[in-house]
Structure formats: structure tokens, C-alpha cells
Structure 1
Amino acid sequence: MEKADVSASTRPRCCSQFLRKFTNRTSKVLLLGLVVLVLIIAKFGGPSFNAGNLFQPLGNIMKGQEVVACVDITQETPKPTQQDHTVIGTDVRRRLASTLVEVYREITRQTGHQQSVIDTKLAIKLAAVAEELDPRISLSMQTPREYSATFTNVTSIISLPNKSRHVCPEVYKPTFDPLGQVGMESEDCNYVPNFNKVLTVILPATSWTPERVNFVVKQIRKRYNITIVPIVMSKNAIDTNVPNLRIVMMENGVNESTVMNQLFKTIETPFVLMGTSLAHFNNQSSLERLVRVLDEVEHVKVVGGAARDPEGLWNHGCLQQRMAVYEAHYALGYYYSKYECMYCDDLLTPFVTSVALLKQIPFQEGLNGHPMYRDWFAKLRVNGILSMACPDVMFYVQTHPNMDEQQWIIVAKQWSLEKITSYDDKVYVFDCSSVGIYCLGPLGTIASFQLAPCCRALMTKYLAYLTDYGNQNNLHYELHAGSVLGALKMNGYLPWDYDHDISIFCKDFSTWRNTNSMLKRKQCYNYVTKHNVYLTVNCPGYFLELVCHQHNASSYQFLPPEYTDKPTLIKYAGKDIAVRPNPGLYARNRYGFEWLKHESHWRTLKNGPANLKKGHHEIEFWRSCKDPQHHSCLDHYPIDGNLPFQKPFLNL
């Protein structure tokens, strides 16, 4: 069949994300999972769900073809004629669909990037949706070893594909033990290496007393004959006669990250325990259990346990973390689990990981303590690596991590964050200069990234210089062009804009020209770009453009006579700002089809200037981000809706 010719100028916006070719094998596998889930939703979703329209674009994607057809959302779907108990409730269906869209959006964003990383959390989300729709589906999606342990009546040991074990597998022996201390037991096996060839313990002990170091080392040695490496400031009073004890000195002025990165190069075992804040150790801290999870859960590279402090306070230590729009949120808890362990983005407790991972993604030079760990786990997440917390493994710690503002600002500097909501629900807000965010050269920024909120606030302040002047002098003004779009879509400055557009009456041009004395006191100035037409106001890093049109004075003729004495106002960064009499109609007629959707600023697009000269608008959407791991990349965000930008952590 001959392929229909759909020109770029007439192609519907909803097709845009489909137009990239899917050549990444992992993307195809995940998309195949999406197809399966759509089939399931079609089966249980009831007569109102029409999956047929979804399969044409998905099928073409799997073939690596471009898609030129979209779902027709204007066609009314039939309503059920009678109650069907197999129909999924509306709220559940919307939640599941939202998850699928989130996964789909991330896959399409990553496709085409030379160095794209497929986040393993996407596969977990797909599996969770499938299991919720039909628990039987999960059986076919599991690896051959269904559970974390075999049962007592199972004699065969299932081997791991393409890898060898470092510890013996577990067997589950159900028993009535009111204290819950027996049940999951390690099998007897003779095909794994001695544990001293498997794991090394690292104790970041620079702030510990010598007595605490000696005690923790002694307690670990009671259970494991493995190498223990305390990192201390002084060897004084440290018992050096303990077998397999290797003391590492950290000199004054040297950062913990530097010492550890050098240490990792010398570790001979495949795994290490990072024994942060340990105060005691006994048989409740099964290191074999953590190594076993790393052996068996392929996509997990870090596994921690729970923690108990001397006061008895227990904490599983599993954090979820998300960064968006120059902000980070941390929360204690989990969404998914496997093998009785929680999937996490970050861990607050001692953890086991591979030496290979620590060499591949080392600690950030110059960092120490909690900020060093928060930064490292954040790096793991942007590289698509997940962690786990197994709450049945309990470590005894001196204190639970409690980060203050001085520690969080270090993380903020590393990740360009204006705001952090901590896992203890405290909120920290930082000014741009303190975290290394600069607002100069916005055109280069918006080619890939959103402008930081502090930069948008700066531009809003510049606008207030002019609007306040206009109000004080009874001068008419209106937002127009991209500034109207910002007001309508975001109730403020567009995160991908770099100027302000203000329409004025031509008769007032000379009066606006007289703003220079006021502007210079605020480090700004104006100049005439085109006589009696364009007046440009330059402020540090940004500019505002005032333009007069001969028809401005007559724009109010479209309002009822009773309303012409007051301009139409719109909320803009919390203030009431004058806009076109009917701003929605203005935007629709000026920008045409689907103007509520988003795309990069025309000056950053390949065909932007040419399209402007042609007099028509050719939709190009977001440009590919030059740093795909950055949380403010525009192509991380949907091309539709304002809530993902205004309330990125809202989950409806």
C-alpha cells in the first residue's frame, strides 16, 4: 500500500512523538510491553475503550517506521448498555493509563540519543501495571527463579543465567516461630567461593572514637572472617592485631570521597559493605542476604538493610527521589518490591554494592558524608540504576542521617537545585547565586533547558519596571505574542522564553521612550529599534520589546461598550497584567492549531527564522537536550499541559 503523504505543516501535533525512529532494542522490548498492556486494558476496560486506534502507531514503531496516523479523540465512543463487572473503574483506568503514558514518553524521549540510558524503573512500572490488571501476567514475566527462595520440597537448584553465584541460595522452611527468627535459611552448597573472597567491609570512621572502631570491628569479626577497612584520622588506640584488618589513614584537608575512590581501586573482592554510622553488629545483619539479592536481581546494583539506633528507633532507609524544574523531593517509602525488598532511589542505611560500580561511578571529588552519598545515589538514578532496601537485614547505627541546610546546599550546588524537600519534610530554598545558577545568556539555555525559576522571577521583575511606570502615568499597554502565551499557559513567564513582548499605543511612544532615567537606576536602559514602532529595553541578561501598532487603539471595540473603560487582566506571576481584550481568541488566531501545546522558542529551532519569514508556523516541538541527564531538559517534559511545569510533583 502506498504511504500517504502528510506534510510537516499539516501533520497533527499528537503524531510528533511517534516520528522518531525506534532503533534501540531495549526501547522495542519496552514498547512491546506497552502493546501487551494495551491488549489487557482493552480486554478489561469495557466497551468504552477502543484499542484499535492505538495499535497502528505502535505497530509501525516496532517496525521502525514513521507514524502518520493519530488517535481520533473527537469520535464519540459508545457507552455500555448494561453493567459489566469486568470493566475497570474510571479512576483505576486513568491511573494505569497515566503510568503507561509516563513510560511511553520516557522511551520516546530517549530514542535517538546516542548515549541514552534506559531507566530500569520503566520495566518495573510496566510489570506492576500488568500485575495489577491480571495477577496471572506476573508469572510469565518473572525470571525462572520465581521467588527469593526455594521451598523445602524443591530439590533442584536453579542456576543463574550467564553468571555464577557468590553465596548459596535460600530455602524457605515454613515453621511456627512466634519470634520470627527462622524460616528463610541458606542452603548448603559447595559451589560458591569463601565469603572472604566475596566482600570487604569499609567503615567510614573518621568521626568515630577509637573505642567504637575497635568494638565494631570485633563484632563483625565474630560473624565474618573478612577484610575490614576502617578509614580513620589516627591509628592511636586502634587494635591493629585483629586479623584481616587494613587501616586507611585520611590526612587533614583530604576529602572522604578522594580517599574512598583511591581505596576502591585496591579492593580485591567483587563487593563491599559501606558501613556508614555502624555502632554494633550481630547475626541480624546478614551480608549474604544482600549479596544474594545482587546476584539474583539483575537490574539492582546497590542493596541496603534497615537500621536501628541506640534509642531503638527503626528505619527501613528506602528513599524515593525526584528532580524536576530545579527542585528535588525526597520521601521515605516505596512503590514497588521484589524478593521481600523495596525498590529505592536512595538509601539512608549501610549498603552493599559492587566494586565495579564504584569504579564506574565514583564518589564526587570534594564531597564528604551525607552530601556525598545523596550525590552518588542521584548519579545512579540518572544512569538508570536502581537500589533496594531489604528490611529483614537490620544494621545497628549510631544515628540516623539528619541533614541540615549546610549539607543540603552542597547537594543543591551539585545538581543546580533552588529548592529541596527533605525526607524529614523540611523544605530548603536557596538563591541562585549560592547554588551556581546564572541567568545570563538565556537564549543558549532555552535551546535545551528550562529557565530556572529565579531567572524567570528576574524577568518578571524587569516587566514590573515597565508596567508600574505605565500604571503611574496612565499609559495603555498589553502583553502580546509569547508573553500572552506565557500568561495563558503558565500564569507567568514561559520557561523557554527569553524576552517580554509588550504592545503600546503609538501616540505614547515618546512617553515610554522617557523611561531611561528610571531604568538606568535599575541597571537597565532603552533604545529605539525602529522609529515610532519598536522600543527595546535592555536589562542584565534579558531584554523587553515594546511595539506600537496602529490598530491597538481600536482593539477594545470588540468589547461591550460598558466594558471598554477597563482592560482585560490576567494573573501573571501573582499580579494582574493587561492583555488583549480576548486573550484566548488572540492566541488561537495568531498561533493556529493546537496553540495550547508547547515547542521550543522559534529562535532555537532549525526552521524557526525561515518559517517566520514564510508567514506560517511549522511545528517542531522540543529540541533534543544537549545534556540528557539534567532534570531541567525541556524534552523530559510533555508537549502539552501546564501542571508538569508548575506542579511537577503533583500526582493526580
Structure 2
Amino acid sequence: MRSVGFNECAATSEEILTIRNSIIKVSKAIMEAKAHVRGFKTDHFLKEAIAEFDHLRNMLEIRPEEVAFQQKREAMSVCPEEYKGSTYGYPFFDKGFEMTNCSFGKKVSKLVTVTLLINAKKINHLRQHLPTLLKQVMDTYGNIPIIVAVKGSKENVDDLFRERQNLKLRYFLSTENDGKILNKLIYEVETKFLFIGRDIEHFDNDTRFERLIREMERQDVKIASGASRDSDGRWTKGCYQRALKNFTLILEEGYDSSSHECLYCDHTYSPFLIYTEFAKSVKFDGNLNDVGIIEDYFLTLMNNHEHQLIVCPDAMFHVDNTISNDIQLWRPFVKKWNVHQIKISSFPTITFPCDYNHCSKITGFVLHPCCLQELSDLIKFIFNFCKEQKMICELQEGTLLGTVKFGKVLPWERDGDLTFLTANYSVLQNIVDPARRAGYRVTDSGGLWCCVDNRTAGGTMQIHSASWEVQLYGQHLMDSEILRSKGINPTQILFDGQWVPAPRNPGLHARNRYGYDIYAHAQHWMDLGKKDSWLKYETRRFTKCREKRRHDCLDQFNGDGNMQFKMIVP
């Protein structure tokens, strides 16, 4: 009789099965997380968790293959292959794995439809290039179905396609978006697989459709691609990992895991093979054109499915694809995904200017960088005025707390707070004209009163930008004045790259103002429905996001720590 490490008699068979399934599910998630982790501490703790789950799995006799996140199957459409040995392909090694004979294998021409999208504005290039490309496709795979979409004028194009039974030609207006065109082409496909021949320049046996189909079926993935080679001979694997957080999209070439000499990827810029039925269910965005359409497609795909893309670099596509840095062409994509920066591997970072309204302050969402920058710029403008006028001004309240915790404005801020020495109130009133020239508006609320320690106290002022208000409160005595009187330099703290005045001990000030657990996170009192900020904050949780899977949802962040709000890695 086998021994058990827990009291089986205390649990029903149904409960044990539930526990078993939960352990399998959690084990899969942890094993996959371990494959993608890059942080040293996270790696350490995941290893500890895996060791504990190994112990639990042994107790429940769960086999290792049950928790493997890379499930393997047998290919059904093409025959298996076998490796002939390391010397078989010597000296060029253009062979080595050879397909065996089988009874179920089908011709690629019965399995795949090739789709091509051509811009007819380049008519001379079209007439010279397309006939050759079509011949290469048919020389490689015989009478394979081909659907060609031509955008623009059909003049002098029809004659290129005569007497080709396997070829369909579709014309579209030059103004029609690529997303709509691709969706229309997909619905005409009748084969099991579909090839999206984006930016393809040359076609030959390097495409290796049989290899891609075999691995799609063996590894149970929906999309397969290969390496790319451009006309200058530059070769890249074509596998990218993705990160979308803090309003930045990062696509970094590389891989975390592999199987059967193929890489698991989040994104590719190479042409790709896809199951037709799957392509019909996960559509291209009809509002997007050439720039951003592939980035959008794989973002959508990875947001809704797991492990849908593999790249097998022994398959190679000859392409002519470039990544545009034209900000205007990126606009539709940027607006849809609400990103501020795009970093694509070795290409220059694309940063989008803050030239339209980003400042939507909705409970449960992180503020856009442009919105936060607007407040930061206003605060720094005020401090620069204070410095020029030799006034004493300091960070205060949530603005100080954000600077202590993040070195900048809190990502969920709702206003700004500064203090000034009441004795400098008349000098501060001179800020009206400089503020107006800078595009700001000033409200002077007065409110001086007497007296504290034989000094006039109070005085309030509000300075407004398009989206923000900074409250300035007068105080009869301030830390910076006290330190100067002792011959000590006032304390400064780094705020958004600029050193600005702060209370003598900013960490102590913030702790005594807000109480317990200040380095964990709590949303603004306005978002919490409170009457003012003088409350006991509940930390370590954020308001539930009203829209699932948005990268700017606050509840996607941990309730503690500031590293997660810095630049991320895929």
C-alpha cells in the first residue's frame, strides 16, 4: 500500500481531485513564470515555490508531463522527419533532417493558401516583381492557391494574372486600410492553413511550410514563422518578447524557451503561417493600415491566448520590411493602445509628443506620462520662480509623499501641494504675469491671519494648468528657514530630475504625516470618496479596474514597491 503525506481519509475523492487539479494548474503557471523571469529575487523565490510543488506533486503522484506547459502531439497533415546525422549535410548543411514516408501526409498545395498584399502605386515595381514572385511560389509548391490583393489602380495589372487557375486577384481602393483588406482575404481561404506573405520579396524552399505545419500540430500552436533575411543579406531570428506597461511598448528580440528547435515568441515581423479558422476568429483591426497593424495583431493575440506563436529559424523568409519612425503614421495604433513610447530591439526609441489631451483622471487607472509631466512641469515652474525670487517654498502633502516614494508625482495623483513662507506672500503674488506667459492661471485666495509665534500665518494661492491645480499654503515658519538660520543648507530632494526644497527630513515628515505603511500604496482620497485627506489610509490594494486587460489598470500593479513603475523588460 502506498504511503501518503496527508490525511486522505479526511477528504473526499472529489475534494482530492479538486486539490490535484489546482496543484497542476498552479504548477503550470509557476513553471511558465520561471521560464520568463529575469529578476534575481523573483527567480530565487520561484525556485523555492517549484521545490515545494515538486514535493506536493510527488505526494499526489502527478506525473511531470501533466504540468508541462509545452504539450506535445503528433503531426496529422505532414509526414514526420528524422535526423540523418551530423555529417549527412556536409559541407553546406542544406540538408540533415529528412521527411519520411507516411500514409497521411498531404501536399502543401492542398494545405496552404498564400495571400499577398500589393500596393499598386509602385506600378513599375509591381510589373517587374510580382510575376517573378508568383512563379517562385508555384515553382516551390506547385498549384498552390494564391490570393493577391492590389491597392490602387488596376490599370496595366490585369495582364499579369491571365491563365492562372489557382490565382485570385482582388482590387481595393488605395484608401482602404490593410486590416480590412486582410480580413476580406482571409474569409476567401478554404485550406486548413493560411500564409500571410507580408513584405515578401522572394520565395523558395527556405520557407519550409512542411516544417512549420509539423511544428504547429506537434506543439499545438496557432501561428508559426521563421527567420527573415533582407535584400542586403541581413538575417535575424524573427523572435521578439513583448512588454506593455507604464505606457511603453517594448519588443526585444530574444527567447526564453524553445522546443524542437523552434522558439516561443510574443511577436514576429516575419511573414507567418496560421490556422485559417483561427485567423477568422482573431481578426486584424480594420481601422489600422500598414504601420502598427502587426504590432496590434500580436498584442491582441497575446492578450487573449497563450503560446500561440513559435518561430523556427531554420525556415527563412526573404523580406523587405522596415519599421517606420513616422509619428503620424503610428497615431492610430498609439491612440488605441494608449502608449507613449515604443522601443523595438535595436531601432531608435519612438517617443510620441504630448500634443493632444492625455489627462483623463479616471479612478482605477494610472495617469498617462504626458498628464503627469504636465503637473511636474507646473511644480518645477513654481520652484524656479521661488528660487529666482529667493523665496522659501517646499514640497508638501501627497506631492512630497510621491517624491519620497517615486522621485516624482504619484502615478494616481489628483492635485499638487506646496508650502511657502507666509512672510514671502507679497513676493509670491508677483507670479501672476510669469505664470500667464507660461500658459498658467493664478487664483489668489488670500487668507492671511495673525498670529502664530508673533508671526503672520496663512495665505493661499492656486496655480492652474490645463488639467491640474497646485495648492500653495503659507506657513509662518518652515524647515528651510530654520536650517538657514543655523548656517545649514536646506534639504533638497530629487523631483523629476530637478533638485527642489523639501522639509528637513522628508522620510520622517512623510511617515508622521501619513502614518503606517506609507511605502505601500493607497489611492488618492478623492478617488476613495473621502471628504478630505486627513484619514487613515488602507494600503496595498487598488480599485478594481473597470476594463479588463488594459495595461494602464492600477490593479495590475502590486500594492507595494516602486520598481514596477520604472522601465520594464519583456
- TM-score, normalised to structure 2, is 0.80
Q: 2:503 maps to which residue?
A: 580
- Is the contact made by 1:319 and 1:346 (CA closer than 8 Å) also made in structure 2? yes
Q: Any residues of structure 2 matched to 1:47-446 within 5 Å, and which? A: 94=41, 96-97=43-44, 141-142=67-68, 159=74, 165-174=76-85, 176-177=87-88, 178=90, 179-191=92-104, 195-206=108-119, 207=122, 209-224=126-141, 225-233=143-151, 234=154, 235-298=157-220, 300-385=221-306, 386-397=308-319, 399-406=320-327, 407-408=329-330, 411-433=333-355, 438-442=357-361, 444=362
In the TM superposition, what is the alpha-carbon distance from 1:185 to its structure 2 partner? 2.9
In the alignment, which of 504, 511, 519 is matched to residue 596 of structure 1?
A: 519
SS in 2 for 1:425: coil
Are 2:263 and 2:310, in contact at CA under 8 Å, matched by a contact in 1? yes
Q: What does the per-residue CA deviation read over 1:204-236, in whole Å, with 9 as the maximum and x for residues that have no partner?
A: 222552342222222222232321111224333
Q: Secondary structure of 2:168's partner?
A: coil
Cα distance in 1 for residues equivalent to 2:263 and 2:373: 39
Asked if 2 retains the 8 angstrom alpha-carbon contact of 1:611 and 1:618, the reply is: no
Whether 1:519 aligns to 2:519 is no
1:537-552 matches, within 5 Å, as 537-549=463-475
TM-score, normalised with respect to structure 1:
0.71
SS at match of 2:204: coil
Q: CA deviation at 1:458?
A: 1.3
2:384 aligned to which of 468, 478, 481: 468
CA shift, 1:37, in A, is 10
Deviation larger for 372-381 or 627-636: 627-636
Amino acid paired to 1:97 = H
**Residues in 2 aligned to 1:318 and 1:24: alpha-carbon distance in whole angstroms:** 37
Which SS does the other structure have where 2:167 is aligned? Answer: coil
Name the CA distance, whole Å, in 2 between partners of 1:258 and 1:37.
35
Alignment RMSD (CA, Å)? 3.6
Instruction: List aligned pairs for 1:1-20, cutoff 5 A.
Output: none
In structure 2, the partner of 1:635 is 555
Asked whether the equivalents of residues 517 and 539 of structure 2 are also in contact (C-alpha less than 8 Å), the reply is: no
Give 5+ residue unaligned stretches, structure 1: 1-22, 41-90, 105-125, 131-136, 147-157
3-state secondary structure, aligned to 1:219: helix
**The residue matched to 1:352 in structure 2 has which SS?**
strand
CA shift at 1:534, angstroms?
4.2
Single out whichever of 259-268 and 312-321 deviates more from structure 2: 312-321
Q: Distance in 1 between matches of 2:484 and 2:397?
A: 24
Tell me the secondary structure at the aligned position of residue 330 of structure 1: strand
The verdict on how the C-alpha distance between 1:141 and 1:547 changes in structure 2, with shifts beyond 3 A counting, is same
**Per-residue deviation, 1:401:** 2.9
For 1:254, what is the secondary structure of its paired residue? coil
TM-fit CA distance, 1:484 = 0.8
Give the Å deviation of 1:543.
0.6
* Deviation of the 1:202 alpha carbon: 0.4
In structure 2, the partner of 1:155 is none
Q: CA deviation at 1:252?
A: 2.8
Partners of 1:176 and 1:535 in 2: how far apart? 82
C-alpha separation in 1, matches of 2:260 and 2:23: 27
Distance 1:25 1:525, change over 3 A: farther
Q: How many residues align?
A: 518
SS at match of 1:379: helix
- Paired residue secondary structure (2:564): helix
Distance, in Å, in 1 between the alignment partners of 2:19 and 2:174 is 48
